[in-house]
Structure 1
Amino acid sequence: MADPEIDFRKAKFLISAPDIAHLDEHLPGDVGVEIAFAGRSNAGKSSALNVLTEQKGLARTSKTPGRTQLINVFALNQHCRLVDLPGYGFAQVPLALKKKWQQALGEYLQQRKCLAGVVVLMDSRHPLKDLDMQMIEWAVASELPVLALLTKVDKLDQSAKMKTVNFVRNELAEFGDSVRVEPFSSLKGTGKKKALTILSQWCQLDETANENY
């Protein structure tokens, strides 16, 4: 049986890999549960991971968007892992390198059988860009639950925050229970508790996986 509660503070760096082939070489099989974190390069993925795990240096942060060039895997326990995927969109890098990142991202999402859910992070001031929608639509079509975190809500006043959250929820309402939308702030801790509750549930989607890992 999976643990009744997952302690995200126990997250440990496991591996960085340029593509899924390298993951397969260094991880003990495509088993257990993985939760992917995806978003544009300036959406605050690394900061969110650090806040959720209460480890300032777990995921690297940079003032220059696009520094996450590899698939970075963090183990919560023997059963569940968090996966920081290469950022998409904004990064000011050569086109060839950007295409390489997108290929690695696509291969992971399409081929990883233990993927249990996708966290899509969007800057609350600029939500639902084309690539964000593509990511959400793909996950829903693949029957994966989505947690859409609207980051940096500390930069909005209360009225603008609620207006943005309601707008995004309305836009994604067609996906029903497959997509949850929550405000989030790495600076203020907004949305942390709700996010951890959802991720803990995802970690326990396949309770038999512990026996095979």
Structure 2
Amino acid sequence: MEANRVLIFAGGTIDPVFLKNISQNDIIIGADRGALFLVEHGISPDISVGDFDSVSPEELEKIKKSSKELIQCDAVNKDLTDTELAFEVAIQRHATEIVMVGVLGSRLDHTLSNIQMMLRGMQHQITSVIWDTNNYVTLTGTTCEIEDRGYTYVSLLPLTPEVTGIHLEGFMYPLDNATLKMGQSLGVSNRLKGERGTIRIESGLLLIIQSKD
């Protein structure tokens, strides 16, 4: 099957510089106000989804005219957030990688929901990433190669009650057969020694957050 990378632009703060990361073969999904962001920056979304309650009628018309496909739902009678709707569409379009932009913001409930959404991706054998100016977030249950993306820190947080058999190579503070449990800060604020590092775990799910202030 052909590899499909799907970029989801949600309604949070997005630096226009992220538009430079769009490749020709990417599928671009705008979630609610994220679709307006794309349109206002000259990008025609392949799909725009959401209830569009955060845009004006005039802005919605812009989105409709510029989108190749529009999926609109009722603002009240819906069970999924706009970002999760976009994520579900990405799964249906056979994504092999989903990159979410504009999903970390002032609403902690939405932020946590979007982070946990990466579990859904893993269940479908899809690599999921959350990316913004200050954070690059991934999830692993096995082995993960980390590359220097210009962030200062690499923090490891369990997304299951515990993660066992953690091995770090290429980090300032290495770990060998370590265990991390929820609530522990041992894995916070590590650093890469060079351009790449390797993280291996034996059990559990590990959230990897590259970040900078």
Q: TM-score, normalised by structure 2?
A: 0.38
Q: Which protein has the larger Cα radius of gyration, Structure 1 or Structure 2?
A: 2
Bigger relative CO (Cα 8 Å, ≥ 6 apart)? 1
> Which structure: greater strand fraction?
2
| TM-score when normalising by structure 1 | 0.38
Which has a greater percent of helix? 1
